[in-house]
């Protein structure tokens, strides 16, 4: 098992330092004959890109993916799919300071301590930049799911901005909303208020924590392996592989610890179990809530006004990508469940 | 990657159905020359054993581990360590009903749907019985850590019983308490009250959710790999591999989503980051909170009075074992970090 | 990847020291619903067992397998299959000498050098005793192949005893012979002569090298992955995992290096390519020739008359088991070749 | 385990189709702080390059590696090392014919049968072009070995061209010769004669089989894991991962099957055991002989005069690279052998 690998059957390796020449992935395990959907890939990359509004960092990343292998005449070959994106918008000079003074709250010092020799520019591999690799691989996972299980849908949205939450009614409608049309991907009539919060934090040199919700509908039943690759375990590991995440909830999640069994089990199954029982998908709706701490880049001398005051909005496409990767992996894995 | 394997360098495979002949593990990757600590193994098994008080299920498991390989003259050989425990206290007749009517809230029906052919007796592999395998393997992981990093300590306790929580002061003292001396492993002056809650639930045919906290002190710095095997990701996956868990929090966890960055980062590092930055241990205290739903065995016709009204107490030694397994794995993994 | 694991999709871990309590395996990845064929397992174990004639070591191993998990009502559950065999016929006293003086030609000293702490009795894990684990796992692989690809047949035989070879005609007929009915599993009218050679070597305190041939007929086409898990690579690694093997040939093998291309490619495909092209099975006959050195136990003070003068005869069932394991693994792997 | 991955601790994934945009690798598991030796990489690539003399194919590959990640200021970061080489010299038009008529002796038809959708141009992944990936990764493995075990040397040479062999004396001197200075890398006073053979075969539209020998001197002792990752097993799997190989011998190899034990074991250890006992390196010289069939490109309508009449010469740097990869992997693996 490599440190930069994810997945078992549909697996990929991620590479690239934030300010090195390129980011990229190699996917090993994608079946042949899958139609390559370029517009899906570009759309997902666009959704991840920072600098889309004044709400996020003004660093502009023009992500132009280059397919190096694995696709021929519009279809996968069953061979490794290598995809590379050049890093264009690097400002190494910004990071001269970092070389001497590791940034507070960042991982600069822990990496230095672990590896001895590190790339001080922009966090290297611990930068948010690395998440572009997840979107590359996740888009192919999504293409695979679209072909093998077209009824599966994954929707992520911001469900909490600082202390501002969606109402219960807004939560129920969120899956069907056009999430990207809301400021901060917060599908609420208070989205403007949320936006103001975030902008104020930016002005103040401050930042906000928050929560992302990811909902899977139409999940194929029987996904997941019963003990160490329970669907819930693999999903939670995937969510916690994203930087700044601090907690993950499945289904009733933290609220499940506070009520009595008879009340709990009287509720609708899908709300309670999160669509997974014994580690295996039931076909019901799966709900994940991922908590994020306020970004630490407020403490970062190098970022001078380029910091993200609120990370959740940008994390949404990355979380969705990670969910697709887990689903694709288990779709292939279950092919060997029975004789 | 096998479905029943855990770990990368220090890895093991778990086997056994709840009502089959035996449970067991094979550990592959334990270095040679490790002193075998039998009393530690027996103590950990005793702590996991149900039927220790009227608070838990009255099913008695006399767990007598047999070492089949890997140990010679009191030390590990560097060869696979196989350990087996016979299943003695099985009551297959109790499960005749289940064969026809899958138990609500259990995984019987999802397993049947996935695998076609299943063992209906006691949940097979999805039973709590499987966790004895974690304690077997985890005890060897603990022995390895004890020898390589004797300053590391792992303590788990119940921090919430239904809606009853530890006070802030009790939380701070918990690590140094004799946890097993408290009813329900709830280190509080209200432990008797908690016990009453649980007994009442049992009497009522009801069950309670709750929270376990696991604290790691003296963690070796530099544990964890930066992207897909972040220490936080591996720990959370380990926690979510335990049945009935519904959420996991690291450090400030869910509360981190609700406060502003300047306040957040002004706090003591250890509380906020949970001792892990950039996916890598800093040497500071690591805090995990694992939420559990109320047990579903209240709905189980087969259990007739043998059900656990509150699962957290029994989960503690299992969670600790899983934490040791992650720590041991990364202690070996980091040997290849640098040239 | 563990040191004692074999396989990717149909995988198993092997455990046990020659003179420890037990040998065994855990198979992780066998699909559910496979009919368990006990008589096949017992027959394979019996074929591997030494002491069957005066030609082999007189050490008697009564191998009585115990299934600990994974089988219920005669079928696999899709859960790990654990199988254990007790070591009964151990004579530790024979090995007191070894503790002080490592046996020449054995691995005792290299193990000691590598691991520091070793089990000096009977070679520990490097003993031929370990091969019983291969037969356990291989028998389940064979059951899987029998159900998924009943046309596949694997036959191994001795094709060379010292300098005594099968005639070309005997080679051609070998696959259809009752191999076990021939002395030394050497399907030749000279089998008695071969037997005399071997007995003479035993009397002289000498040993003989030889060659095993394994033929696969009716192989499912499309087995094998193109680059690092070519069917030929996986088969050769499997063959070289057996102790005392010194060379392996596929198809035309060593003779292919000595002839011109036009002559070579004019031959029947199956002879030339060994049924594998580009790493992938074509459906044609696959031929493997495995060379063995003369056993080193002649130099072994501990074995006092219990040594095997010729290892190939006993290796046949082990080689067949390893071939079945590779075939089963790739039968499952190819399920994800195409969308 | 991915189909295009190699190695366990020092591992890499290979990608690229012969006539696609690029070839490349991602190495995951190289420790930080390793000095990057660019001239070694370029030298190895140059040695692998075809078109170096009239003896090999006239296809010219200008291999200019681009490092995309993992190196900073001349040293490895401990992050994935991605390296890409553009495919420049592709002649897709040559392969129009292939699309309709798969080439005899090639893998075109078996790939088509397995994957359904394939890249007909130049063999795709089954092309000799893929071996450039091995040289990329192998060069980093060699750098690691050079730093961790500078006494280890790996030398490969042609030991047989058709029926023309090195004399015993030439074999003994080969390790110390400047192999690349000999025609066909055949370190013999008959190298000109060998060259004539090969040129004649080319003129005749014919091809020759042959043998490569790879010798490892100064091997660190204790490399290899005892059962399924024996050093001999991993080396043989590595050798058989190279196209057109048909047999592999270790140490005395095939000759070991033909002599009696007392004679065999009386020989110098290093000749007999090939420097590996019980699967583990002893520190003595390791000898591998790899047999190759005559190339099938003689049958290839697309290659019109570009075919390689003799593959062994070009295979030498690839075989050396694969050996370095196995050695580097086990150098890291053995760090966890003992407590």
| Residues on C contacting B at a C-beta cutoff of 8 Å | 2-5, 11, 13-17, 20-24, 26, 28-29, 32-33, 66-70, 72-73, 75-82, 84, 114-119, 124-125
Q: What is the pLDDT of residues A33-61, one digit of tens each?
A: 999 999 999 999 999 987 555 555 545 55
Pick B208 or A127 by higher pLDDT.
B208
Pick D89 or B315 by higher pLDDT.
B315
Task: Please state, rounded to an integer, the average pLDDT across all residues of chain A.
Answer: 88
Q: What is the pLDDT of residues A124-168, one digit of tens each?
A: 787 889 999 999 999 999 999 999 999 999 999 999 999 899 999
Q: In 10 A of CB D35, how many CB atoms?
A: 12
Q: What was the pLDDT predicted at A270?
A: 46
Burial label, C113 (beta-carbon count in 10 A; 0-12, 13-18, 19+): middle
The side-by-side arrangement of strands in the sheet containing A22-28 is: A5-6, A11-15, A22-28, A81-86, A66-69
List chains adjacent to chain C, taking adjacency as at least 3 C-beta pairs closer than 8 Å.
Answer: A, B, D
Q: Which residue has the tokens 């309709």?
A: D100
Q: What was the pLDDT predicted at D270?
A: 46
Please judge whether A33 and C339 are an interchain contact, meaning their C-beta atoms are less than 8 angstroms apart. yes
pLDDT-derived band at C304 (thresholds 50, 70, 90) equals: low
Q: Taking CB atoms and an 8 Å cutoff, what residues of chain A touch B257?
A: 160, 162, 209-211, 246-247, 291-293
Partner-chain residue, chosen from D1, D78, D337, that has the shortest CB–CB distance to B78: D337
Q: What is the pLDDT of residues C205-263, one digit of tens each?
A: 889 999 999 999 999 999 999 999 999 999 999 999 999 999 999 988 888 777 777 77
Q: In 10 A of CB A39, how many CB atoms?
A: 7
Q: Find, in chain A, the residue whose alpha carbon is nearest to that of C146.
A: A339
Q: Find, in chain C, the residue whose alpha carbon is nearest to that of A34.
A: C339
Please judge whether D257 and C126 are an interchain contact, meaning their C-beta atoms are less than 8 angstroms apart. no
Q: Find, in chain A, the residue whose alpha carbon is nearest to that of D86.
A: A68
Instruction: Please give the structure tokens belonging to residue A134.
Output: 């997840």
Pick C278 or C160 by higher pLDDT.
C160
The ipTM of this complex is: 0.93
Q: Rounded to an integer, what distance in angstroms lies between the CA atom of residue A319 and that of residue A154?
A: 10
Q: Taking CB atoms and an 8 Å cutoff, what residues of chain C touch B114?
A: 78
Q: What is the pLDDT of residues A216-228, one digit of tens each?
A: 999 999 999 999 9
Q: Taking CB atoms and an 8 Å cutoff, what residues of chain B touch A333?
A: 3
Q: What was the pLDDT predicted at A269?
A: 46
| Residues on D contacting A at a C-beta cutoff of 8 Å | 2-5, 11, 13-17, 20-24, 26, 28-29, 32-33, 66-70, 72-73, 75-82, 84, 114-119, 124-125
From residue D157, how far is each of C287, D177, D310 by CA, in Å?
A: 28, 10, 14
Q: Rounded to an integer, what distance in angstroms lies between the CA atom of residue C87 and that of residue C24?
A: 10
Q: Closest approach of chain A CAs to the CA of D281, in angstroms?
A: 24
Q: Closest approach of chain B CAs to the CA of C6, in angstroms?
A: 11
pLDDT < 70 regions, chain D: 51-61, 89-105, 265-273, 297-306
Q: What was the pLDDT predicted at B270?
A: 45
Q: What was the pLDDT predicted at A237?
A: 96
Most confident range, picked from C115-124, C194-203, C301-310: C194-203
List chains adjacent to chain B, taking adjacency as at least 3 C-beta pairs closer than 8 Å.
Answer: A, C, D
Q: Closest approach of chain C CAs to the CA of D74, in angstroms?
A: 30
Is the separation of the CB atoms in D246 and C246 below 8 Å?
no
Please judge whether B279 and A107 are an interchain contact, meaning their C-beta atoms are less than 8 angstroms apart. yes
Please judge whether C237 and D241 are an interchain contact, meaning their C-beta atoms are less than 8 angstroms apart. no
- Radius of gyration over every alpha carbon of chain A, rounded to an integer in angstroms: 20
SS3 per residue for chain A: CCCCEECCCCEEEEECCCCCCEEEEEEECCCECCECCHHHHHHHHHHHCCCCCCCCCCCCCCCCCEEEECEECCEECCCCEEEEEECCCCCHHHHHHHHHCCCCCCCHHHHHHHHCCCCCHHHHHHCHHHHHHHHHHHHHHHHHHHHHCCCCEEEEEEEEECCEECCHHHHHHHCCCCHHHCHHHCCCCCHHHHHHHHHHHHHCCCCECEEEEEEEECCCCCCCCCCCCCHHHHHHHHHHCCCCEEEEEECCHHHHHHCEHHHHHHCCHHHHHCCEECCEECCCCEEEEEEECCCHHHHCCCCCCCCCCECHHHHHHHHHHHHHHHHHHHHHHHHHCEC
Partner-chain residue, chosen from C147, C332, C337, that has the shortest CB–CB distance to A336: C332
What is the percent of chain B where pLDDT is above 70? 85
Q: Closest approach of chain B CAs to the CA of A15, in angstroms?
A: 10
Q: What was the pLDDT predicted at C214?
A: 98
Which residues on adjacent β-strands are paired with residue C49?
Answer: none
Q: How many helices (H) and strands (E) does chain C have?
A: 10, 14
Q: What was the pLDDT predicted at C270?
A: 45
* Vertex A293: Cα angle to A287 and A296 (nearest 5): 145
Partner-chain residue, chosen from A9, A31, A338, that has the shortest CB–CB distance to C338: A31
Is the separation of the CB atoms in D278 and C125 below 8 Å?
no
pLDDT-derived band at B253 (thresholds 50, 70, 90) equals: confident
CB contacts < 8 Å between A and C, how many? 44
pLDDT-derived band at B63 (thresholds 50, 70, 90) equals: confident
Helices (H), A246-310: 261-266, 269-273
Q: Which residue has the tokens 């409608």?
A: A173
From residue D313, how far is each of C255, D57, D61, D187 by CA, in Å?
A: 19, 11, 16, 11
Q: Taking CB atoms and an 8 Å cutoff, what residues of chain B touch C16?
A: 68-69, 80, 82
Q: Rounded to an integer, what distance in angstroms lies between the CA atom of residue C11 and that of residue A234?
A: 21
Which residues on adjacent β-strands are paired with residue C247?
Answer: C291, D249
From residue A289, how far is each of A316, A319, B259 by CA, in Å?
A: 11, 10, 17
Please judge whether A264 and B293 are an interchain contact, meaning their C-beta atoms are less than 8 angstroms apart. yes
Q: In 10 A of CB D113, how many CB atoms?
A: 16
What is the percent of chain C where pLDDT is above 70? 85
Q: What was the pLDDT predicted at B261?
A: 76
- Which residues, at least 6 apart from A169, have a Cβ–Cβ distance to it below 8 Å? none
Q: Closest approach of chain B CAs to the CA of A199, in angstroms?
A: 13
Q: Rounded to an integer, what distance in angstroms lies between the CA atom of residue C125 and that of residue D318?
A: 33
Q: What is the pLDDT of residues C20-74, one digit of tens each?
A: 999 999 999 999 999 999 999 999 999 998 755 555 555 555 789 999 999 999 9
Q: Find, in chain C, the residue whose alpha carbon is nearest to that of B69.
A: C16
pLDDT < 50 regions, chain A: 58, 269-270
Is the separation of the CB atoms in D25 and D274 below 8 Å?
no
| Residues on D contacting B at a C-beta cutoff of 8 Å | 1, 9, 29, 31-34, 76, 78-79, 144, 147-148, 226, 332, 335-339
pLDDT-derived band at C297 (thresholds 50, 70, 90) equals: low
Is the separation of the CB atoms in C71 and C81 below 8 Å?
yes
Q: What is the pLDDT of residues A55-65, one digit of tens each?
A: 555 455 578 99
Q: Which residue has the tokens 């990929």?
A: A12
CB contacts < 8 Å between C and D, how many? 286
Burial label, D150 (beta-carbon count in 10 A; 0-12, 13-18, 19+): exposed
């Amino acid at each position: 098992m490599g440190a930069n690998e994810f997945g078992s059957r549909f697996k990929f390796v991620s590479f690239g330092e934030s300010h090195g020449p390129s980011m990229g992935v190699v996917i090993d395990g994608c079946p042949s004959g899958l139609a390559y959907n370029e517009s899906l890939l570009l759309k997902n990359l666009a959704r991840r890109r920072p600098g889309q509004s004044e709400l996020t960092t003004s660093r502009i990343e023009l992500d132009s993916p280059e397919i190096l292998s694995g696709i021929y005449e519009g279809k996968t070959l069953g061979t490794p799919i290598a995809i590379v994106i050049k890093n264009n918008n690097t400002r190494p000079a910004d990071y001269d300071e970092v070389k001497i003074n590791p940034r507070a709250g960042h991982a600069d010092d822990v990496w230095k301590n672990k590896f001895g020799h590190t790339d001080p520019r922009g966090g290297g591999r611990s930068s948010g930049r690395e998440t572009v690799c997840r979107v590359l691989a996740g888009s192919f996972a999504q293409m695979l799911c679209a072909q093998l299980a077209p009824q599966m849908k994954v929707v992520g949205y911001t469900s909490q901005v600082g202390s501002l939450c969606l109402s219960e009614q807004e939560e129920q409608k969120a899956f069907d909303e056009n999430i990207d049309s809301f400021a901060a991907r917060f599908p609420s009539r208070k989205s403007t208020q949320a936006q103001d919060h975030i902008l104020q934090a930016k002005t103040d040199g401050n930042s906000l924590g928050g929560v992302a919700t990811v909902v899977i509908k139409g999940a194929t039943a029987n996904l997941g392996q019963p003990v160490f690759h329970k669907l819930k375990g693999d999903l939670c590991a995937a969510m916690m592989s994203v930087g700044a995440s601090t907690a993950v909830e499945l289904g009733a999640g933290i609220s499940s610890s506070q009520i009595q069994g008879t009340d709990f089990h009287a509720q609708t199954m899908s709300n309670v179990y999160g669509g997974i029982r014994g580690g295996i998908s039931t076909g019901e709706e799966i709900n994940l809530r991922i908590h994020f701490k306020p970004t630490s880049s407020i403490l970062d001398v190098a970022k001078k006004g380029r910091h993200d005051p609120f990370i959740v909005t940008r994390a949404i496409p990355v979380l969705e990508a990670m969910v697709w990767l887990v689903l694709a992996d288990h779709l292939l894995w279950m092919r060997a469940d029975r004789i």
